[in-house]
Structure 1
């Protein structure tokens, strides 16, 4: 529960979560139903990566326009920014349950609009609607789960939201593969997204509001009834007393500060404790995006094509591996987040991320430098009308490689004998693509044939393994715990908006960066930003494992310093007694 309780949580781990939900399955029902919001988040993140391959095939103006591709991907993020901001207001005004129901309705409408889109601009409108729903759900689901969970298993249950996100991504890749041969391909991929939204809507209709929010609205009997389903009989009164103290303090603050969102934001920024909470909460949310994870989630098949796999279906199949590893990492996080702590998992995760980003950068640079050469004979074989015009007029044509050809917005048709032998530089039109494939050659438009391809995919998997247990789930847990109760809605909303703004920057710029710097250079940029993020996390983010919300507030009030630069805080009285 949000107000803490009689049991300290410093020894909490996944086994304790399993024992508790086995005895009280109602807790898991609440967490699972709300966690479907994470599934919506994950499905939307993953499905567009595969759908984009086929949207490019259906709309030539998308295929030839990098900005249009980035916009189709990132407009969901733009919608999520608005949704996350409005979600904070809805949470405080109408409750967590209503916010989740609203998110489901908007998401469902967006999925239908995308599936029926006659042109790219209608797809973009559908992406904005889906983004609104995702943004509202992204900060509401962890909050609902957190406030309906006993403190001793709160971290593990909030991690179910992260598990649902990665599970949704994995599901989206399975759906993408299932519809690769179906008429309509991408329309089915994006349309299926409406099903989990509909399922959650039905489930949430039968579930109660957050007990903490109910108590805040003077619906004490309803809050008590819910607490009685979550806690044992002797714990309920202690929880109600904690709720009363917290809500009374919150009402006193609001009497002085006002109830409007603008007033709350101003008050939050003036409050030293809240500011310190925002430093930590925003830091981990921004870092989560700038390590480059959503370039992998949004563009995984495209990245696999950069590594030298031209086939759409092969790219989707290999991308499924990275998505599966992401889901496995979320399970690992659930097992260890309450044993080893939020801060430690993030720091270890960031070190692994930086290492594998650097190695990925080197591998892609080596692949680019060893790209097959362009053969004048092979190019002439298809005739001047099919050959790349830039290649025909280039003064340095004998030095051209496959990478040079692709940078000229042309395509590489592999040698009939071997993909790694010198091939032809051709126009990237559908007609020429057909001519190349008619001779059983491979037509490369995004990346070049490379012996480093499988190594790049393996490194992507290791990058995901490093990311998922730490930076994948923990930032959402931290933001469900780090703010004083009276500022939790607005604090979580601000941090979620920061997350989505960072996501927007990354997703809207990735393809442009790869055109300017290459895949290797882009990954190196992410490695540098990740290094800076690691430093910020080390200095700004405290450990909240096992602490009641009141203890977290006291920790921020006293000021946090990392172990090497400040004296470690003594355990609280309750923690000492528990030990």
Structure 2
């Protein structure tokens, strides 16, 4: 579910700055745990639907209401992510993520004390609404505080933390009713997030853009980062900023944005999020004799292990190799699942559906799940990272909401075999997209990556648009003073 973009130092006068990995790790963990509210929301939604359908909780949900309880987290996130850019511009990514924890916890409290469907829905919407900004902004905060040599590792940490929180909410559901699970898991996400983000400062890029040069230097010193040198224009001032629409019309900008949107569309409809959101109910429908909660936790653990492996391999094998391998594996696994339900001779192999589902999720976690966020963080142009990145996350949330909403209907209309055959078609399309259009970005600087998408245009540097006085000197060139 995260990506990283380093702020490259420009200019020959910038001396070497030793990264402070512990400080960067602390900030990344704080941002990752801020997204934990969204992850806990998914787990609690699945838990609510499962326990209420079994008479635990005092009221009954219809099938339509179950869909809305599950998808309300995504619906709130759509609205929250839509305003994330404005909040970040005004308060900064770190401050926005920090203070959104308070109303998110209030949403969990409303959820816990719900005595009817309407109150439960309102609580779920509040959680999604105030988790939405963190879902967007953690990507750019991590981008601004991560050094290039740690980019792959730090970019994938949020995905691991995300799974920890989903597991937490599901495990709590084994020992507590869903209302206590909501309160406990909310506290366990909010408290460590607050501690980490109160220690870590705002990112240097935001501080520079708001004219707080001394604070930006202190933040750069905390993270062990150089600050970028703004490039003056020919008249001696800072090059003027172009409008977002003017930038988007350029091929070097709209091509990576369209490619990113296509990748996210595939991720949203490849089936993973729908299966995870309905995991407890769906696994019982699948006919597994194993405990549904145990299997759901197992699937989350598999993702954590797989993402940990990918974090080691992503800068060695490359992004394309992992994406191709992952999409091909998911396609074969989904076809195996579909075959089980369409071919009567496979009926005696009762554990085949669960095995194929675990394989599909494992392949998802080794590429299609985490790697697109890393690729997007690299190919989205620096001058569009805020507006373009927020728009892409909003698009992903809308498509994920649609995928979760249509899943029960598809299951009823097509049957389990038909649903997995459709998912195989989606992952096959991802395979073709990666093979035909996704460039390999391993080992390339951000400037080199942008040049992969360009026509012959006027050159520029990544930090041309920073509104800083021409008299500005970088932290690294003044750190001895």
Partner of 1:288: 267
SS at match of 1:544: coil
Partner of 1:307: 286
Q: Determine the C-alpha separation between the residues in 2 that align with 1:133 and 1:78.
A: 11
Matched, 1:159 2:145: no
1:340-355 matches, within 5 Å, as 340-355=317-332
Q: Determine the C-alpha separation between the residues in 2 that align with 1:172 and 1:474.
A: 25
Contact 1:277 1:482 in 2 (8 A): yes
Offset at 1:168?
Answer: 2.0
Contact 1:170 1:327 in 2 (8 A): no
Contact 2:31 2:197 in 1 (8 A): yes
Q: Aligned in 2, Cα 1:366/1:171: closer, same or farther, shift over 3 Å?
A: farther
Matched, 1:42 2:21: no
Contact 2:201 2:219 in 1 (8 A): yes
5+ residue gaps in structure 1? 7-19, 180-184, 258-263, 371-450, 560-579
5+ residue gaps in structure 2? 11-17, 457-481
Offset at 1:100?
Answer: 0.8
Query: Which residue of 183, 187, 200 corresponds with 1:191?
Result: 183
Contact 1:75 1:128 in 2 (8 A): yes
Query: Which residue of 168, 171, 176 corresponds with 2:168?
Result: 171
Q: Aligned in 2, Cα 1:306/1:542: closer, same or farther, shift over 3 Å?
A: same
Contact 2:329 2:363 in 1 (8 A): yes
Q: Determine the C-alpha separation between the residues in 2 that align with 1:62 and 1:336.
A: 47
Q: Determine the C-alpha separation between the residues in 2 that align with 1:37 and 1:368.
A: 48
Q: Determine the C-alpha separation between the residues in 2 that align with 1:505 and 1:470.
A: 22
Q: Aligned in 2, Cα 1:310/1:130: closer, same or farther, shift over 3 Å?
A: farther
Offset at 1:474?
Answer: 1.4
Q: Aligned in 2, Cα 1:127/1:250: closer, same or farther, shift over 3 Å?
A: farther
Partner of 1:227: 220
TM-score (normalizing by structure 1): 0.71
CA offsets 1:146-190 (integer angstroms, 9 cap, x no match):
1101112112111111111222222222222232xxxxx121223
Offset at 1:483?
Answer: 2.1
Query: Which residue of 180, 200, 206 corresponds with 2:199?
Result: 206
Q: Aligned in 2, Cα 1:246/1:57: closer, same or farther, shift over 3 Å?
A: farther
Partner of 2:460: none
1:118-517 matches, within 5 Å, as 118-179=115-176, 185-195=177-187, 196-231=189-224, 239-240=226-227, 242-245=228-231, 252-254=239-241, 256-257=242-243, 264=244, 266-309=245-288, 314-366=291-343, 452-517=349-414
SS at match of 1:244: coil
Q: Aligned in 2, Cα 1:129/1:364: closer, same or farther, shift over 3 Å?
A: farther
Q: Aligned in 2, Cα 1:62/1:499: closer, same or farther, shift over 3 Å?
A: farther
Q: Determine the C-alpha separation between the residues in 2 that align with 1:453 and 1:250.
A: 71
Q: Determine the C-alpha separation between the residues in 1 that align with 2:313 and 2:199.
A: 32
SS at match of 1:520: helix
Specify the structure having the higher radius of gyration (Cα). 1
Alignment coverage as a number of residue pairs: 443
Q: Determine the C-alpha separation between the residues in 2 that align with 1:60 and 1:106.
A: 26
Aligned Cα RMSD in Å?
Answer: 2.8
Q: Determine the C-alpha separation between the residues in 1 that align with 2:216 and 2:278.
A: 44
Offset at 1:191?
Answer: 2.6
Partner of 1:553: 450
Query: Which residue of 437, 445, 470 corresponds with 1:540?
Result: 437
Q: Aligned in 2, Cα 1:26/1:367: closer, same or farther, shift over 3 Å?
A: farther
CA offsets 1:474-527 (integer angstroms, 9 cap, x no match):
122223222222211111111111111111111111112111111111111111
Offset at 1:251?
Answer: 6.8
